[in-house]
C-alpha cells in the first residue's frame, strides 16, 4: 500500500496542499480531521468536549489505520497525529510522508484569526498556547521523508516541490506510484 501523508503543525497548510496535490497527481484525498467529523457527526471542538483529547486521539488513530489500508491516497493528518508512536509506524509502513513546517509567527497569523476554533488553542492566550504546543512538539515531525517550509510559499509551489521530489507525475495529472 502506498500513500502520501502530510504531517505538521495546525495551520501549516496540510489540507490545502493535500487537496491540490491529489488533484495534480490524480490520487484520492482524505483529511483525517474531516473524516472524524463526518463519522462522529459533530465538530472537533464538540468531540473534545465530549471525550477529551485522549478520546479524539483514539478516533484519529482508528481513522488513520483505516485510511492506511488504501493505496493511491494523499492524506492530510491532524497536527497531533505524531503524538502516538503507533501512528508514525502506520504512516511509515504504508507510504511516504511530507512535513509541512512554518515559522511560529506565520502559524500565529494563520491560526489566531481563524474562525474555526481549534480546541487546543482555545482560551484567551492563543499565542502563548501556540508557542507552548510548538515547543512540546519540537522534533516530532522531522522523521518525514521530505520537509518543506510553507511560510513564504504558495500552496501550488509546495505541491510542485512534492511532485518533483517524489517524481509523482506529469502535468495533466498522469501519476506514478511511490515505490
pLDDT digits (tens, 9 = 90+) for 86-101: 999 999 999 999 999 9
Asked if residue 32 belongs to a known ligand binding site, the reply is: no
Across 75-88, average pLDDT: 96
Mark out the alpha helices in the chain (DSSP H runs): 14-25, 32-40, 44-68, 85-94, 104-112, 126-137, 155-166
Asked if residue 153 belongs to a known ligand binding site, the reply is: yes
Per-residue confidence (pLDDT) for residue 173, from 0 to 100:
45
Asked if residue 177 belongs to a known ligand binding site, the reply is: no
Annotated domain spans of the chain: 3-167
pLDDT at 1 over 50: no
Q: Rounded to whole angstroms, how far apart are CA atoms 61 and 64? A: 5
Per-residue confidence (pLDDT) for residue 169, from 0 to 100:
73
The residues that bridge with 95 in the sheet, in sequence order, are 3
Q: Rounded to whole angstroms, how far apart are CA atoms 47 and 55? A: 8
Asked if residue 11 belongs to a known ligand binding site, the reply is: yes
Per-residue confidence (pLDDT) for residue 133, from 0 to 100:
86
Asked if residue 16 belongs to a known ligand binding site, the reply is: yes
C-alpha cell at 140: 516530532
Across 41-46, average pLDDT: 91
Mean pLDDT for all residues in the chain: 88
Asked if residue 126 belongs to a known ligand binding site, the reply is: no
Longest CA pairwise span in the chain (Å): 47
Asked if residue 34 belongs to a known ligand binding site, the reply is: no
Contacts of 170 (CB under 8 A, 6+ apart): none
Fold topology of 3-167: Rossmann fold (3.40.50)
pLDDT at 176 over 70: no
Asked if residue 15 belongs to a known ligand binding site, the reply is: yes
Contact 29, 70 (CB under 8 A): no
Per-residue confidence (pLDDT) for residue 118, from 0 to 100:
57
Amino acid at each position: 500500500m502506498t500513500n502520501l501523508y502530510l504531517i505538521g503543525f495546525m495551520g501549516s497548510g496540510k489540507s490545502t496542499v493535500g487537496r491540490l496535490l491529489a488533484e495534480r497527481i490524480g490520487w484520492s484525498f482524505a483529511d483525517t480531521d474531516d473524516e472524524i467529523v463526518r463519522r462522529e457527526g459533530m465538530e472537533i471542538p464538540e468531540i473534545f468536549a465530549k471525550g477529551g483529547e485522549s478520546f479524539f486521539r483514539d478516533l484519529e488513530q482508528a481513522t488513520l489505520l483505516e485510511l492506511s489500508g488504501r493505496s493511491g491516497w494523499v492524506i492530510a493528518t491532524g497536527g497531533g497525529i505524531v503524538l502516538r508512536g503507533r501512528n508514525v509506524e502506520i504512516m511509515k509502513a504504508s507510504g511516504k510522508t511530507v512535513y509541512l513546517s512554518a515559522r511560529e509567527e506565520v502559524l500565529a497569523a494563520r491560526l489566531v484569526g481563524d474562525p474555526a476554533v481549534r480546541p487546543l488553542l482555545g482560551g484567551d492566550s492563543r499565542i502563548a498556547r501556540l508557542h507552548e504546543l510548538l515547543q512540546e512538539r519540537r522534533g516530532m515531525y522531522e522523521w518525514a521523508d521530505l520537509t518543506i517550509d510553507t511560510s513564504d510559499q504558495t500552496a501550488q509551489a509546495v505541491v510542485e516541490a512534492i511532485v518533483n521530489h517524489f517524481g509523482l507525475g506529469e502535468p495533466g495529472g498522469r501519476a506514478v506510484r511511490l515505490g
